[in-house]
Each structure stands twice: as C-alpha cells, then as structure tokens.
C-alpha cells in the first residue's frame, strides 16, 4: 500500500504544493487502492480513472507554470452520486436514472474542479438518499470497512466508507436527516452538515428541498474544514443559498480551544435506547471537555421526541413532489413503450414501477397521502408545527450554551440485513441527527473511539446555532486532539478488516 493514501488532505495538498509528490502520483495511489479494496467495500458506483488523472495532471502543470495552488489542489475526493457532474453517470442509487449523464456540473462539483480537487468517482448511496444503511441502493450495499458484514450507514455510506477505507481522503455527502453524520459515526470518520443554505443545492438531486444540505466527509476535523471552506458560499443559482460571509471554519479548526465555552448535553438524546459502549465513549468525551476548561451542563429539548415523526411526514411529502419528475420522459430509464400501444401515462406508470425500489415507493405513497386534500392539515400541517417547536427548543438551548452535544447514532454499525425488513427500526437510527435538519442548524459527527463491547467506531455529535458552523470545528478539533492524546493510539488506524 502506498504511503500517499495514508496522508490527510492537508498533508496531501502540502506534498503536492511543495513538489514532494505529484498530483498524478497521488491520484494513481488512490486509484490503485480502489482497485485493491473496492470489490469488497463497494463504495464506488463509478470510477473516473481518466478524468481523475487528467485533473491531477492539470494541477501538476499549473504548479510547474508557477501558479498559486488553492488549499486542496491535487487532493482526491469521492463524490456522492446525488451530485451532478457533467458527462459522468449520476444514478442517485436508483435504476430510474440508469444511463443518465447530466449535461451540467452541480455548484459543489464546479467549485471542487475550480479548486483543483481531483474527483475520483461517484459513491454508492441509498436510493435518492432515503435510508440509513446504503442497503436501499439499487446497485447493492456498501460494506463497512471495519467489518464487511456490517452497514456503513446511510444514505451516504459510499462516501463514508471510501474515506474510512483510505480510498479517498475526502468525500462529499448530503444530509437531509443525518446522511453525512450517521455514516461518519459508524465508520469512524468526520462528517459535517453545514447550516442549511450554506452550501449550494444547485445540481444536488433533491430529496427534501427544505432539509437537504451538502457537506464534507474526511478523516480529520481540519480536512473537513478545508473542504467546507471550498464548497460553501453564496450561489445565485440556489434561491435558498445564504448570502453572507462563510464562517472561518479553517481558523476554528486550527484554534481548537474550548476554554470557557458552554457546552450542553441534550438530555433527550442519550441514556435509554443508546448502546452501553456508545454512551460510555460519549460520557468520556464529556469528561475530556470539562478537563479542557469547558463548562458542560445538561440541557432539555422537550419537543425532540416528536422530531422523528414530524420528519417522516415532511420528508415523504417533499420527496413525493420532488420525485414526480422521474417519469420516464426526461431522464434515464423508460419502460414499456414498445409493449402494445401504451399511452404516455402507462409508460410513466411502468417506468416508475420498474425504476423505483421499495423504500422510494413507500415514501412517495406516504407523502402523497400526507399532502392529500382532507389530510394535509392533520399530517403535513401538524408536522410543520412540530418543526417550529423543535427550532424553538434549539433557540432556547442556545441562549444557555454555545454548542450542544450528543451521541450521533444510538448504536455502532449493525449487521447488513438486520433492519432491512423493519422500516421503523431503520428510521430510529436518525433520532439524534434529525432535529438539526428540521431546524436548519449545523452538525458534526467525529470519532469518539471504539465501543468496548464490539470494537466498532462511536460517533459524537456537535450542534451549533445557524451560521456558527465555526464552533463545530473549534470544539471538534479540540476533542479530536484530546482523544488522541488521552488514548495514545491513532483513531485513524486502518480499518481492521481490509
């Protein structure tokens, strides 16, 4: 295994900038790693060898010509398959988009390219980002690099697994209810959902437009900050894009000082229902924060127990509307047009029945029902009211504390297949991550160590007020450093099963 794949993104960029390694060598090392392990991990749906090597060569030429390189120039990255990339297959983990090559780059993709980031390929995901295990991908599940019989989280399991398996130091995920943070938690990586509106949604195939947000996946907090700074910022192509300065996330990651900070432990997001080893690592992290001079208090958010129910009305409602455009007429798959003399509606029906998997169909039906005349107020309207109450809980909490913390997920990675037939059990994985999406606030998951009972990674979640994403990085980096020195062993050790 080449040493180049062990470097962090920051180290890789420095090596490329100094000439210690060429961007092409770095890209090739990661492509080799993908060839070596991805048959077992299945993080990628598409690997763009040619495109990656060409992008890397362009960085090397720019350097040779004396150009100033941007902070992530020459660093390889894996892109979640929900982001458009011009000319590259984009399936969103669904059969219905099979064969579609978007004619344009998402804003995130365009910013990565402009920064000289080397896009290696597209990563596996639950169909249209619906799921917590990547098992709802039409292209087969991704396997957790820590234990190949276990789930890598979802929906962005491919992005998290690629980073955990050293196939890429960076990845892009999207988080509508936890799809960056929960995969990060169960793969021992760092994942951040920025404030809603901080990163453009242009070219992010929409699941639930009022909740979707793209963000970074990495192995260190600083790497996540560097990627965050690269993709964030106002975009006139997204009407919900925030038109204000991007918080100094890189500066915050470098500062890493929690002295005098007020940190709230969310009472409703721990204890009962949380695996003992998850709770234990979380409690140890709390003690570390106190030891570093933070003031840690318990904070109650009384409406959080209703967040999951509200989310599972709002999300299906929005997704039933967003997925209506996949009708066999405009994108990807078209089924049954030569079978008899079908009407347009019949072709649409056949295409959707063949192209969508069970979870997508379940949510489209739930959402259509929740929005239907006579039920709209009782379901969708009521859920929106709960959403307001959740936002108020956060607002009240942030009057008392600077950031809130909780375990990211109730358990470590579960076995593939374990929850596939029980949608509610699957949904419960997101109990701790969903409130942040409903309120639009930023959240980070970072590794808090391994659970003693199963040796699998545990994630700790940090949440901050809207547009205070820098606080996540400050607290995250401080905790990351403390965890390393406290345990005297690298959290970034190679995932053992590879």
Choice between 130 and 224, CB closer to ligand GLN: 130
* Residue 388 half-sphere exposure toward CB, CA atoms < 13 A: 5
Site string for ligand GLN, 275-314 (x = CB under 6 A): ----------------------------------------
Across-strand partners of 144?
147
Contact with ligand GLN (CB under 6 A) among 84, 109, 132, 230 = 132
Choice between 128 and 166, CB closer to ligand GLN: 128
Q: What are phi and psi of 173, to 5 degrees?
A: -125, 175
Distance between the two ends of the chain, CA-based, in angstroms? 11
Choice between 60 and 175, CB closer to ligand GLN: 175
Q: Does 178 bind ligand GLN (CB under 6 A)?
A: yes
Q: What is the DSSP string of 328-360?
A: SSSSS----TTSSS--HHHHHHHHHHHHS-HHH
Q: Does 129 bind ligand GLN (CB under 6 A)?
A: yes
In whole angstroms, the minimum distance from the beta carbon of 260 to ligand GLN comes to 33
Site string for ligand GLN, 416-455 (x = CB under 6 A): --------------x-------------------------
Choice between 132 and 279, CB closer to ligand GLN: 132
Catalytic site includes residue 80: yes
In whole angstroms, the minimum distance from the beta carbon of 180 to ligand GLN comes to 7
Residue 374 structure tokens? 């006579």
Stretch that binds ligand GLN, among 39-47, 87-95, 126-134, 369-377 (CB under 6 A): 126-134
Catalytic site includes residue 179: yes
Dihedral in degrees, nearest 10, Cα atoms 109, 132, 163, 84:
-10
Q: Does 137 bind ligand GLN (CB under 6 A)?
A: no
Residue 413 structure tokens? 């990675």
Catalytic residue among 106, 132, 155, 241: 155
Give the strand pairing for 118-123 and 170-174. unpaired
In whole angstroms, the minimum distance from the beta carbon of 128 to ligand GLN comes to 8
Q: What distances in angstroms separate CA 333 from CA 53, 203, 349, one per listed residue?
A: 30, 19, 12
Residue 51 structure tokens? 């495109």
- Written in H, E and C, the secondary structure of 406-471 is EECCCCCCCECCCCCCCHHHHHHHHCCCHHHHHHCCCEEEEEEEECCCCCCEEEEEEECCCCCHHH
In whole angstroms, the minimum distance from the beta carbon of 430 to ligand GLN comes to 5
Say how far apart CA 82 and CA 97 lie, in whole Å: 11
Q: Does 315 bind ligand GLN (CB under 6 A)?
A: yes
Q: Does 197 bind ligand GLN (CB under 6 A)?
A: no
Site string for ligand GLN, 205-234 (x = CB under 6 A): --x---------------------------
Which one, of 406, 144, 404, lies nearest residue 274 by Cα? 406
Across-strand partners of 447?
459
Catalytic site includes residue 343: no
SS3 at position 400: helix
Choice between 136 and 281, CB closer to ligand GLN: 136
Q: Let me know the angle formed at the C-alpha of 105 by 252 and 188, rounded to the nearest 5 degrees.
A: 40
* Contacts of ligand GLN in 80-119 (CB under 6 A): none
Choice between 48 and 135, CB closer to ligand GLN: 135
In whole angstroms, the minimum distance from the beta carbon of 416 to ligand GLN comes to 16
The answer for 217, left when phi > 0, alpha when psi is -120 to 50, beta otherwise, is beta
SS3 at position 188: coil
Q: Does 74 bind ligand GLN (CB under 6 A)?
A: no
Q: Does 179 bind ligand GLN (CB under 6 A)?
A: yes
In whole angstroms, the minimum distance from the beta carbon of 205 to ligand GLN comes to 11
Q: Does 318 bind ligand GLN (CB under 6 A)?
A: no
Q: What distances in angstroms separate CA 334 from CA 41, 93, 155, 262, 307, one per listed residue?
A: 30, 17, 25, 55, 37
Choice between 23 and 82, CB closer to ligand GLN: 82
Q: Does 153 bind ligand GLN (CB under 6 A)?
A: no
Say how far apart CA 27 and CA 9 lie, in whole Å: 12
SS3 at position 237: coil
Catalytic residue among 70, 133, 137, 179: 179
Catalytic residue among 22, 70, 80, 320: 80
Contacts of 358 (CB under 8 A, 6+ apart): 136
Stretch that binds ligand GLN, among 130-138, 384-392, 396-404, 487-495 (CB under 6 A): 130-138
Q: Does 131 bind ligand GLN (CB under 6 A)?
A: yes
Choice between 15 and 129, CB closer to ligand GLN: 129
Q: Does 175 bind ligand GLN (CB under 6 A)?
A: yes
Binding site residues, ligand GLN, CB under 6 A: 129-132, 154-155, 175-179, 207, 315, 430
Report, as residue numbers or ranges, the catalytic residues.
Answer: 80, 155, 179
């Amino acid at each position: 295994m080449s040493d180049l794949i062990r470097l962090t993104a920051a180290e890789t960029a420095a090596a490329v900038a100094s000439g210690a390694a060429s961007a092409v060598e770095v890209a090739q090392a990661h492509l080799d790693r993908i060839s070596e392990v991805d048959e077992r991990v299945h993080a990628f749906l598409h690997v763009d060898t040619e495109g990656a090597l060409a992008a890397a060569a362009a960085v090397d030429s720019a350097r040779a010509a004396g150009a100033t390189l941007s902070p992530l120039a020459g660093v390889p990255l894996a892109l979640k398959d929900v982001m458009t990339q011009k000319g590259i297959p984009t399936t969103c983990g669904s059969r219905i988009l099979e064969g579609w090559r978007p004619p344009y780059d998402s804003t995130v993709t365009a910013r990565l390219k402009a920064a000289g980031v080397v896009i290696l390929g597209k990563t596996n995901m639950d169909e249209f980002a619906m799921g917590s295990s990547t098992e709802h991908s039409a292209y087969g599940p991704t396997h957790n690099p820590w234990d190949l019989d276990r789930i890598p989280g979802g929906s962005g399991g491919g992005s998290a697994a690629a980073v955990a398996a050293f196939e890429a130091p960076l990845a892009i995920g999207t988080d509508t209810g936890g799809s960056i943070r929960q995969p990060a938690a169960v793969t021992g990586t760092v994942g951040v959902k920025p404030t809603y509106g901080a990163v453009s949604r242009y070219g992010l195939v929409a699941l639930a437009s009022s909740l979707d947000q793209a963000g970074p996946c990495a192995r260190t907090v600083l790497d996540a900050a560097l990627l965050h700074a690269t993709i964030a910022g106002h975009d006139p192509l997204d009407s919900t894009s925030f038109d204000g300065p991007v918080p100094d996330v890189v500066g915050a990651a470098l500062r890493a000082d929690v002295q005098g900070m007020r940190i709230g432990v969310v009472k409703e997001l721990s204890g009962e229902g949380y695996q003992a080893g998850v709770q234990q690592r979380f409690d140890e992290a709390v003690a570390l924060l106190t030891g570093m001079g933070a003031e840690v208090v318990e904070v109650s958010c009384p409406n959080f127990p209703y967040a999951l129910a509200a989310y599972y009305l709002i999300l299906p409602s929005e997704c039933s509307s967003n997925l209506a455009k996949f009708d066999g007429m405009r994108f990807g798959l078209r089924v049954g047009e030569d079978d008899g003399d079908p009407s347009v509606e019949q072709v649409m029906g056949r295409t959707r029945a063949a192209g969508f998997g069970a979870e997508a169909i379940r949510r489209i039906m739930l959402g259509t029902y929740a929005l239907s005349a006579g039920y709209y107020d009782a379901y969708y309207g009521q859920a929106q009211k709960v959403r307001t109450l959740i936002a108020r809980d956060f607002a009240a909490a942030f009057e008392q504390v600077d950031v809130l913390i909780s375990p990211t997920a109730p358990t470590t990675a579960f076995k593939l297949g374990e929850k596939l037939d029980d949608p509610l059990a699957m949904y419960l994985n997101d109990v701790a991550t969903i409130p942040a999406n409903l309120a639009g606030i930023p959240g980070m998951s970072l590794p808090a160590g391994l659970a003693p009972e199963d040796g699998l990674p545990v994630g700790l979640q940090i949440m901050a007020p809207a547009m205070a994403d820098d606080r996540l990085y400050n607290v995250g980096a401080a905790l990351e450093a403390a965890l390393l020195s406290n345990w005297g062993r690298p959290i970034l050790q190679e995932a053992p099963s590879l």
